[in-house]
């Protein structure tokens, strides 16, 4: 499945739906979506990962970028991460920096 | 920010935009818009940067450093617009091939950056590599963006540490470990609750710098199983964590995974110490592969004979030239990097005596590297521990240049305690020294008991179970006709060589293990426990399991249930040590500001038997004011009997209102062998002696 990162704003929440495989080749698209979201000055960033099958180091780097760029006052939610994506978040320690949930809201 | 002119390229080659780089820091560093590559060689005549697409067999590009990009002996260049995530890099160096003069430049080789911070090529442990790969260990770029939150090294006082030496793969590789990612950093993380329950507060990881498990790999002549460079005492890259130990290695996230492990251990009050191997590299001798240092600047990085051959003080083919200023700087940069970027709490230096030799091998009176490490501001709070000997015969236990900082693996502690335990006569006087933190070795030059890392077993040699199950080593599985491994084990098999169904022998072995643990944890100095000794792990008599990726090394977690009494005994002994500051003093008794005393006894109170035939000793630890003026501090008493029969030990008088309580008696079967600190069994008020079993130890606590 081709990678896609779609941003929509719902009130003060930036919601990004990720699908496919997030590797180095497409990480730029994800980063672009994050930068667009930052411009909207959201209070919350919600990342839907139910259909994300794989995340490489490049994807994790964008998550770290998002966390650092948005600052600690913006809560980041990771929704529906499963299998290797969830493993990656856990083993890299990133799950401590965000709220990992099965569903949202 | 983007008005800075150093963001912009000044040169172009093959479509790559370049500008002169910065000489420092060495290595590959992400800078705005690009990557700064810096590498030094005193004797190279030119240098070329080689770029690969990740995993590709042939280079993507080769970019010679323009002459104007060289500063002194350092080539430095910024390459713009590189895809950080997808490239690997190496170097080619031009220079003379003149082995007699110490030069082994070979332009056909692609060389690993000595400062590489992540290394590809061995992403999955044990997966056979492409032997024809022109660049087998590949430098990668990393981001320093890990979210440490408020973590930092714990800076626990050395006197309070209980060190647990473990192998990163062996700890959880056994199927019984029951972890999601066996044999990895993530696996260790899953076992943190176990370490906490045991009570240790420092893990010492056997080498986790990138190494090649396939170095000298070969089929086992008996089983056909592959034998590896399993322990990893042979470094490929000093700045990179072993990728094959990371569950996320195939995803290139080994740095994140290892940092996360450190952070989690810290969160649970456990320090992280690394076993570092700076005495040699994976390039071996003249016949070894050219991976990095040999091709970058052989004469700088290695100690060479006048004929240009490699000195072999490490026993591994070559010797890193640590007191050359360039190499010294690399070692310092490396340790600073691990301390600052990975929050490492301390380092144990393998064959550290080598670090005190000059470039021709002679021991230096004031070794610059050891002094630099001791006074380095970044390493100021790190523990520095030396394995104070080398394979060239330099033995410095008690005399390692310490600069008020260095502690030592106390090999004499190991040997003396082993001999006392097996019942050798004449050991009581040295036993007394070892229990006090070895003042005979460290009672000078302002050193204290914490200069002594006490251990009875470590990765080299028998496990504690095997110490009392084998008289002789059984290393046949190593394929060297049992020639390898030490012969001075001071072990005793309790009557039967190897496994037995004899319940008396097995009970005696357990008692001996408990005796050893009791002495270790009652001794002044810093105790170190070998992974699995707390549950009776065996290596089936093999005292040199460096090459086995199997249950000779793996921690069998079913032992935790089968030897639950050993685990409980170890746990309570560690807890006792944590409860009583008397056991954790910074100064030797009778020196410094210490307010405590050690008093020697024997089977007669106040009258220790120091004679050559003696196999008994008892001692009492107390605060000087105990029992006086409202001071109700506890008094500790330990009776050691390595004689084969039970002997009555007369107990010393306690202050008025105090009473003896039994904490441990290794002659008794579980659960009566030990009590939880604070829940000891009181002795009868007028009990003046205690019958200590043959080859047994008793610990009493006196309190009101």
Put simply, the answer to whether A91 touches B149 (Cβ < 8 Å) is no
Residue B405: band (very low, low, confident or very high) from pLDDT cuts 50, 70, 90: very high
Put simply, the answer to whether B86 touches A65 (Cβ < 8 Å) is no
Closest CA to B674 of B494, B552, B511: B511
pLDDT of residue B3: 58
Provide mean pLDDT across the span B560-566: 98
- pLDDT above 70 for B486: yes
What is the chain B residue with the closest CA to A66?
B145
Q: Which residues of B touch A31 (CB under 8 A)?
A: none
Q: How far is CA B163 from the centre of its chain?
A: 9
Fold equal for B5-140 and B596-703: yes
Q: Which residues of B touch A34 (CB under 8 A)?
A: none
CA distance A21 to chain B (A): 13
Compare CB distances from A93 to B85, B86, B256 and report the shortest one's residue: B256
Strands A99-101 and A75-79 turn out to be parallel
Contacts of B510 (CB under 8 A, 6+ apart): B536, B563, B565, B566
pLDDT of residue B592: 64
- pLDDT above 70 for B5: no
Provide mean pLDDT across the span B388-395: 88
Residue B631: band (very low, low, confident or very high) from pLDDT cuts 50, 70, 90: confident
| C-beta of residue B322 within 8 angstroms of C-beta of residue B360 | no
ipTM: 0.87
Compare CB distances from B147 to A25, A57, A97 and report the shortest one's residue: A97
Domain positions in chain A are 4-101
B378 token code pair: 């970044």
Provide mean pLDDT across the span B19-29: 96
CA distances from residue B671 to B15, B165, B200, B639 in whole angstroms, order as listed: 75, 27, 22, 20
Put simply, the answer to whether A93 touches B83 (Cβ < 8 Å) is no
Provide mean pLDDT across the span A42-71: 91
Q: Which residues of A touch B149 (CB under 8 A)?
A: 96
Inform me whether the C-beta atom of residue A30 falls under 8 Å from chain B C-beta atoms: no
- pLDDT above 60 for A76: yes
B266 token code pair: 């810290």
pLDDT of residue B139: 98
Q: Which residues of A touch B256 (CB under 8 A)?
A: 57, 60, 91-94
Residue B620: band (very low, low, confident or very high) from pLDDT cuts 50, 70, 90: very high
Per residue in B417-433, pLDDT (tens digit) is 999 999 999 999 999 99
Look up the CATH architecture of domain B160-271+323-583: Alpha-Beta Barrel (3.20)
- pLDDT above 90 for B239: yes
Tell me, which fold does domain B596-703 have in CATH?
Immunoglobulin-like (2.60.40)
Determine whether domain B5-140 maps to CATH 3.30.565.10.
Answer: no
pLDDT of residue B1: 45
Provide mean pLDDT across the span B143-159: 93
Inform me whether the C-beta atom of residue A86 falls under 8 Å from chain B C-beta atoms: no
Backbone angles phi, psi at B86, to 5 degrees: -115, 5
Q: What percent of chain B has pLDDT over 90?
A: 87
Domain positions in chain B are 5-140, 160-271+323-583, 596-703
Residue B623: band (very low, low, confident or very high) from pLDDT cuts 50, 70, 90: confident
Look up the CATH architecture of domain A4-101: 2-Layer Sandwich (3.30)
| C-beta of residue B228 within 8 angstroms of C-beta of residue B283 | no
Provide mean pLDDT across the span B122-146: 94
* DSSP helix/strand/coil, B248: coil
A26 token code pair: 């497409």
Inform me whether the C-beta atom of residue B248 falls under 8 Å from chain A C-beta atoms: yes
- pLDDT above 90 for B594: no
**What are the catalytic residues of B?**
350, 387
Residue A70: band (very low, low, confident or very high) from pLDDT cuts 50, 70, 90: confident
pLDDT of residue B626: 79
CA distances from residue B297 to B48, B66, B280, B300, B542 in whole angstroms, order as listed: 14, 20, 15, 5, 39
| C-beta of residue B588 within 8 angstroms of C-beta of residue B443 | yes
CA distance A34 to chain B (A): 17
| C-beta of residue B329 within 8 angstroms of C-beta of residue B368 | no
């Amino acid at each position: 499945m081709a990678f896609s990162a779609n941003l929509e704003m719902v009130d003060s929440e930036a919601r990004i739906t990720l699908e496919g495989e997030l590797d180095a080749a497409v990480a730029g698209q994800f980063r672009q979506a994050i930068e667009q979201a930052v411009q909207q000055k959201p209070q919350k960033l919600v990342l839907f990962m139910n259909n994300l099958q794989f995340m490489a180091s490049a994807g994790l780097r964008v998550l770290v970028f998002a966390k650092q760029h948005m600052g600690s006052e913006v809560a980041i939610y990771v929704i529906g991460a499963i299998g290797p994506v969830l493993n990656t978040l856990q083993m890299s320690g990133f799950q401590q920096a965000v709220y990992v949930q099965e569903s949202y809201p | 920010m983007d008005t800075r002119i150093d963001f912009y390229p000044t040169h172009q080659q093959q479509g790559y935009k370049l500008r002169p780089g910065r000489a420092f820091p060495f290595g590959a560093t992400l800078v705005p818009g690009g990557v700064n590559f810096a590498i030094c060689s005193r004797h190279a005549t030119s240098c070329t940067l080689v770029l690969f697409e990740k995993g590709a067999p042939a280079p993507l590009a080769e970019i010679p450093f323009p002459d104007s990009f060289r500063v002194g002996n350092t080539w430095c260049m910024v390459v713009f617009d590189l895809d950080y995530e997808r490239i690997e890099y190496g170097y080619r160096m031009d220079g003379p091939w003149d082995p007699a003069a110490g030069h082994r430049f070979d332009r056909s080789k692609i060389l690993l950056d000595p400062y590489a911070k992540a290394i590809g090529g061995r992403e999955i442990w044990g997966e056979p590599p492409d032997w024809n790969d022109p660049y087998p260990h590949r430098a990668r770029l990393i981001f320093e963006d890990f979210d440490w939150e408020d973590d930092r090294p714990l800076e626990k006082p050395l006197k309070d540490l209980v060190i647990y030496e473990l192998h990163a793969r062996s700890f959880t590789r056994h199927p019984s470990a029951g972890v999601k990612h066996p044999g990895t950093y993530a696996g260790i993380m899953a076992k943190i609750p176990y370490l906490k329950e045991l009570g240790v507060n420092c893990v010492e990881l056997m080498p986790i710098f990138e190494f090649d498990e396939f170095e000298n790999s070969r089929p086992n002549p008996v089983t056909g199983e592959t034998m590896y460079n399993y322990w990893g005492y042979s470094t490929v890259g000093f700045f990179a964590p072993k990728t094959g130990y990371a569950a996320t290695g195939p995803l290139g996230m080994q740095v994140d995974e290892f940092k996360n492990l450190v952070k989690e251990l810290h969160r649970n009050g456990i320090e992280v110490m690394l076993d570092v191997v700076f005495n040699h590299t994976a390039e071996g001798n003249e016949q070894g592969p050219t991976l990095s240092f040999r091709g970058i600047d052989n004469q700088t990085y290695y100690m060479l004979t006048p004929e240009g051959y490699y000195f072999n003080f490490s026993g591994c083919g070559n010797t890193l030239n640590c007191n050359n200023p360039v190499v010294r700087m690399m070692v310092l940069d490396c340790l600073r990097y691990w301390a600052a970027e990975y929050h490492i709490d301390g380092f144990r230096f393998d064959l550290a005596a080598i670090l005190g030799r000059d470039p021709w091998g002679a021991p230096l009176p004031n070794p610059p590297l050891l002094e630099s490490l001791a006074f380095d501001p970044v390493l100021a709070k790190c523990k520095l521990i030396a394995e104070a000997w080398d394979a060239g015969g330099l033995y410095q236990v008690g005399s390692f240049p310490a600069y008020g900082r260095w502690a030592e693996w106390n090999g004499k502690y190991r040997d003396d305690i082993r001999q006392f335990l097996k019942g050798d006569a004449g050991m009581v006087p040295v036993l007394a020294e070892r229990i006090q933190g070895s003042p005979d070795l460290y009672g000078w030059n302002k050193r204290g008991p914490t200069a002594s890392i006490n251990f009875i077993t470590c990765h080299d040699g028998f496990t504690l179970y095997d110490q009392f199950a084998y008289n002789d080593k059984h290393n046949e599985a190593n394929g060297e006709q049992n020639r390898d491994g030490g012969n001075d084990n001071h072990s005793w098999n309790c009557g039967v060589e190897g496994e037995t169904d004899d319940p008396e022998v097995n009970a005696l072995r357990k008692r001996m293990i408990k005796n050893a643990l009791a002495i270790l944890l009652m001794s002044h100095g810093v105790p170190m426990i070998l992974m699995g000794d707390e549950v009776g792990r065996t290596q089936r008599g093999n005292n040199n399991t460096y090459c086995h990726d199997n249950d000779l090394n793996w921690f069998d977690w079913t032992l935790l249930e089968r030897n639950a009494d050993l685990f409980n005994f170890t746990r309570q002994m560690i807890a006792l040590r944590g409860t009583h500051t008397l056991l954790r003093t910074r100064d030797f008794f009778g020196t410094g500001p210490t307010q405590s005393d050690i008093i020697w006894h024997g089977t007669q109170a106040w009258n220790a038997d120091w004679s050559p035939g003696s196999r008994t000793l008892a001692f009492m630890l107390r605060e000087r004011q105990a029992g006086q003026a409202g001071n109700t501090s506890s008094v500790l008493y330990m009776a050691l009997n390595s004689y084969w029969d039970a002997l009555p030990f007369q107990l010393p008088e306690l202050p008025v209102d105090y009473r003896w309580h039994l904490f441990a008696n290794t002659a008794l079967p579980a659960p009566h062998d030990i009590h939880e600190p604070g829940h000891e069994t009181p002795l009868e008020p007028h009990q003046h002696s205690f019958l200590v079993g043959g080859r047994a130890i008793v610990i009493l606590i006196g309190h009101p």
